[in-house]
Amino acid sequence: DAGVIQSPRHEVTEMGQEVTLRCKPISGHDYLFWYRQTMMRGLELLIYFNNNVPIDDSGMPEDRFSAKMPNASFSTLKIQPSEPRDSAVYFCASSNDVTEAFFGQGTRLTVV
């Protein structure tokens, strides 16, 4: 397996634009997590899914953020409209259980 695959690796967008981040988890993993990492706030759990069902989205900062997992092999995190304070590295991770999560290489988002 190629591991967790995220795209794009880098995204630069203008404030107000819609941004969509994509994630392909490791095949067979039941859990999928979206994290955001900044210097100020560290690694924050935004939302996680179990068997494609959102379980806890309490970490999603506000209504501008939404996440979907239409099937076991794909998830998206959407920000609409984007703001400069959304600039961060966004990680997707998957696992069979949370003792060991496998992270993708992340998407570095810059909103100008």
- Choose between 54 and 81: whose C-beta lies nearer to another protein: 54
- 89 closest CA partner among 39, 51, 53, 32: 39
**Cβ nearer to another protein, comparing 19 with 46:** 46
By CB under 8 A, tell whether 56 contacts another protein. Answer: yes
For residue 12, state whether it binds another protein (rule: CB under 8 A).
no
C-alpha to C-alpha distance for 60 and 91, rounded to whole angstroms: 14
- 90 is an interface residue for another protein by CB under 8 A: no
Choose, by CB under 8 A, the member of 24, 26, 48, 86 that binds another protein: 48
Q: What are phi and psi of 86, to 5 degrees?
A: -80, -5
Q: Is 25 in the site for another protein (CB under 8 A)?
A: no
Non-local CB neighbours of 59 within 8 Å, separated by 6+ positions: 44, 45, 46, 47
43 binds another protein (CB under 8 A): yes
Of 13, 34, 7, 32, nearest to 86 (Cα)?
A: 13
The reply to whether 98 sits near another protein by the rule CB under 8 A is yes
Residues of this chain that interact with another protein (CB under 8 A) are 31, 33, 35, 42-43, 45, 48, 50, 55-56, 91, 93, 97-106
